[in-house]
Amino acid sequence: MQHQVVSREDWLSARKAHLAREKAFTRQRDALSAERRALPWVRVDKDYAFEGQGGRLTLADLFGGNSQLVIYHFMFGPGWTEGCPGCSFLADHFDGANLHLKHHDVSLVAVSRAPYAEFQPFRKRMGWDFAWVSSEGCAFNDDFHVSPSPAERAARRYDYNYEMHDGEGGEMPGFSVFYRNEAGEIFHTYSTYARGGDLLIGANNFLDMMPKGRNETTIMDWMRHHDRYEDKPAATGASEPAPASACCG
The answer to the question of residue 163 being in a domain is yes
pLDDT at 235 over 60: no
Amino acid identity for residue 81 in this structure: T
- Domain membership flag for residue 177: yes
pLDDT band at 238 (very low <50, low <70, confident <90, very high): very low
- Confidence (pTM): 0.88
CATH number for the domain including 47? 3.40.30.10
3-state secondary structure of 241: coil
**Range in 152-161, 183-192, 194-203 with the lowest mean pLDDT:** 194-203
Question: CA 110, 208, 173: angle at the middle one, nearest 5?
Answer: 25
Q: Which residues contact 203 (CB under 8 A, 6 or more apart)?
A: 89, 92, 93
Residue 9 belongs to a domain? no
**pLDDT digit string, tens, across residues 209-221:** 888 888 998 888 8
Q: How far apart are the C-alpha atoms of 186 and 4, rounded to whole Å?
A: 55
Using pLDDT thresholds of 50, 70 and 90, give the confidence band for residue 85.
very high
Nearby residues of 13 by Cβ (< 8 Å), 6 or more positions away: none
Instruction: Give the pLDDT confidence of 19-56 residue by residue, as tens digits.
Output: 999 999 999 999 999 999 999 999 999 999 999 998 99
C-alpha 107, offset from chain centre = 14
Q: Is residue 10 part of a domain?
A: no
| In a domain? residue 25 | no
- Nearest one of 127, 96, 48, 56 to 200, comparing CA atoms: 96
Which pLDDT value is given to residue 69? Answer: 98
Q: Count the domains in the chain.
A: 1
| pLDDT tens digits for range 126-147 | 999 999 999 999 999 999 999 9
Give domain status of residue 66, yes or no. yes
pLDDT for 126 equals 97
Residue 67: inside a domain: yes
pLDDT score for 240: 39
Residue 179's identity, in one-letter code, is Y
- Least confident window among 7-21, 81-95, 205-219, 221-235: 221-235
Mean pLDDT computed over every residue of the chain? 91
For residue 165, which phi and psi values (nearest 5 degrees)? -125, 145
CB 72 within 8 A of CB 108: yes
Q: Is residue 53 part of a domain?
A: yes
Q: Has residue 237 got a pLDDT over 50?
A: no
Residue 128, domain extent: 42-248
